[in-house]
A and B are shown apart, each in its own frame.
Chain A
Amino acid sequence: MNPLLLFVFVLAIFLGLELITKVPSQLHTPLMSGSNAISGITIVGAIVAAGEGGLLATVLGTIAVTAATVNVIGGYLVTERMLGMFKRGKDA
């Protein structure tokens, strides 16, 4: 385990707090579901566990891959669908 990872973690938190300032309220839900899809990145760890573990790790990993994929696919698609509904007066 590399202590530099802690450094990355702290910087990324600060970056995240700076990145999303003054979000209009109509984007609150898409921002939540879209960022939630990103938290499905844990799928990377799940894939490794399901692909190279022993029996129990494979079982846990497979469930993790399934749950993370629900998170990723569901999150991106539902965000896409919601954003598609936001229309300006002239297109409505």
Chain B
Amino acid sequence: MEAWQTFAYIAASILFITGLKMLGRAETAKRGNRISAVGMLIAVVATLLAGGLDYTWIVLGLVLGGAVGALAARRVQMTGMPEMVALLNGSGGLASMLVGWAEYVRTDDLMAFSAVAIVLTVLIGGLAASGSVIAFGKLSGRLDGKPLLFSGQKVVNAGLLVIAVLAAALVVAHASGALAGGGALAFAVVLLVALALGVLAVLPIGGADMPIVVSLLNSYSGVAAAAAGFVIDNVVLIVAGSLVGASGLILTTIMCKAMNRSLANVLFGGFGATITAGTAQMEGEVKPLSPEDAYFILEAADSVVFVPGYGMAVAQAQHVVQELAQQLTKNGAEVRHAIHPVAGRMPGHMNVLLAEANVPYEQLVEPDDVNPTMETVDVAIVIGANDVVNPAAKEDPSSPLFGMPIIEVDRARTCFVLKRSMNPGFSGVDNALFLKDNTRMIFGDAKATITAMVAAFKEG
């Protein structure tokens, strides 16, 4: 590698680091993203100018991939953002896997260390790629969102992992000359097992755990890129890939904390399929309310908190929620949107939806901010959220949700729950909130319900 190229890669690394740091703060996020994009441009140009390259196929790939990426980024709906992120994770993992494969094919005398790096790149990249495809399928509803468990699943996974390690060892042994022959068969086994593991790892994970899976796959795609850096002896891949691996890991940890669960429990638990419902008896009765009657309560409210969940995304209700929020503000009420970190199907899902609907971000608050003031809230409106407001998380030690931080809407003066039916939430756990004295159930499509409330305000 020539000196100027090394300097270009160092510059790119600095820009990635600076950009990523700035991406973590609201004031600087936009600039951070652009700075990191400039870093990417420098790295790509430096690679293209290295000389000795036939550009024909490179340009084809750049044009094709650029068109697909730009089109997808422009056309995707904010409700479809989890699927988009899953696809991006998948394409990154796939690219790293193929880089490892291509290096394996075109290098005649592999050193043992490089062979190890290649095998790791293929394994992690392949896992991220196929896992993301399954995650995409679940997120987009093409696959059943429920955890898919079969007996002996753990044995199968463990068996595959053993096969992967053995095949990987064979690849390395062949490459380093300890065994004769090319080891191509062993390599093919590594490739296939990596893809199978990705599928089997994501299938048993339920829809409500998707925020964790998506951030974990994000982390894998970074680690795969770092591993590819070892394969082609390039520091910029290692630096950039590690940064992404670390940031994905941090997000994963935040998500796990917000659900009070360990990563191992998410990955192997098949939550919702294995638990038996809590033993505590539910007492009280359901008190339904019509949107028109709800209007009279809202009209008198001074403080209103919206608690959105995945149901708001499904009903595409974010725009009418903002309309109602504006009517309430006009009516003199203080309006806030309380967002639980794991509400929705990816980290930050609700924030993105509400931002699309022009909700100013000062109105978005986290559970820790809103819970201490809950007694002064006149109306809490729960839209398609369930587990993140289930009081059993605080009160019922036998509940599988026990210990999870929640938004304590049961302490608000009145709580509206917008829901299609009395079905329990994704976790399959009953919600005592629905039967509390200060809770009113408003059944039906959330969008239609809120539209009716807005109409009542406009007439009122």
Chain B residue numbers with a CB within 8 Å of A31 are 23-24, 247, 251, 348
A20 to B21 Cα, complex, angstroms = 6
Q: Known: A27-B24, A41-B237, A69-B61. Contact between A64 and B99, CB under 8 A? A: yes
Chain B residue numbers with a CB within 8 Å of A89 are 360, 362-363
Is the CB of B72 closer than 8 A to any CB of chain A? Answer: yes
Secondary structure dominating the interface of A: helix
Q: Which of B351-368 contact A (CB under 8 A)?
A: 351-352, 355-356, 358-364, 366
**B245:A16 contact, CB within 8 angstroms:** yes
**B341:A41 contact, CB within 8 angstroms:** no
**A20:B250 contact, CB within 8 angstroms:** yes
Chain B residue numbers with a CB within 8 Å of A14 are 246
Chain B residue nearest to A19 in the complex (CB): B21
A43 to B246 Cα, complex, angstroms = 20
Q: Out of A22, A54, A69, A86, which one reaches B65, CB within 8 Å?
A: A69
Contact residues on B (Cβ < 8 Å of other chain), bracket: 35 or more
Name, among B24, B65, B346, the residue most crowded by chain A CB atoms within 10 Å (CB to CB): B65
Chain B residue numbers with a CB within 8 Å of A78 are 72-73, 76, 81, 84, 88
**B95:A71 contact, CB within 8 angstroms:** yes
Q: Out of A25, A58, A67, A79, which one reaches B91, CB within 8 Å?
A: A67
**A87:B221 contact, CB within 8 angstroms:** no
Name, among A41, A43, A54, A74, the residue most crowded by chain B CB atoms within 10 Å (CB to CB): A41
**A77:B351 contact, CB within 8 angstroms:** no
Name, among A17, A50, A84, the residue most crowded by chain B CB atoms within 10 Å (CB to CB): A50
Chain A residue numbers with a CB within 8 Å of B362 are 88-89
In the assembled complex, how far is the CB of residue A66 from the closest CB belonging to chain B, in whole angstroms? 4
Name, among B17, B29, B98, B221, the residue most crowded by chain A CB atoms within 10 Å (CB to CB): B98
**A45:B99 contact, CB within 8 angstroms:** yes
A28 to B218 Cα, complex, angstroms = 12
**A17:B355 contact, CB within 8 angstroms:** no
Q: Known: A57-B102, A70-B68. Contact between A41 and B241, CB under 8 A? A: yes
In the assembled complex, how far is the CB of residue B253 from the closest CB belonging to chain A, in whole angstroms? 10
Can you give 20 contacting A-B residue pairs, CB < 8 Å? A13-B245, A13-B246, A14-B246, A16-B20, A19-B246, A29-B347, A32-B347, A33-B81, A33-B84, A38-B36, A39-B225, A44-B47, A53-B106, A66-B68, A67-B95, A70-B87, A75-B88, A76-B33, A86-B361, A89-B360
- Known contacts A27-B348, A78-B88, A92-B358, then 6 further A-B pairs from the complex at CB < 8 Å, ordered by chain A residue: A19-B21, A20-B246, A23-B251, A64-B98, A74-B88, A80-B30
- Residues of B that sit less than 8 Å from A by CB: 16-17, 19-21, 23-26, 29-30, 32-34, 36-37, 39-40, 43-44, 47-48, 50, 52-55, 57-58, 60-62, 64-66, 68-70, 72-74, 76, 78, 81, 84-85, 87-89, 91-92, 94-96, 98-99, 101-103, 105-106, 111, 113-114, 117, 214-215, 218, 221-222, 224-226, 228-251, 254, 339, 341, 346-349, 351-352, 355-356, 358-364, 366
- Residues of A that sit less than 8 Å from B by CB: 1-2, 5, 8-9, 12-17, 19-54, 56-58, 60-89, 92
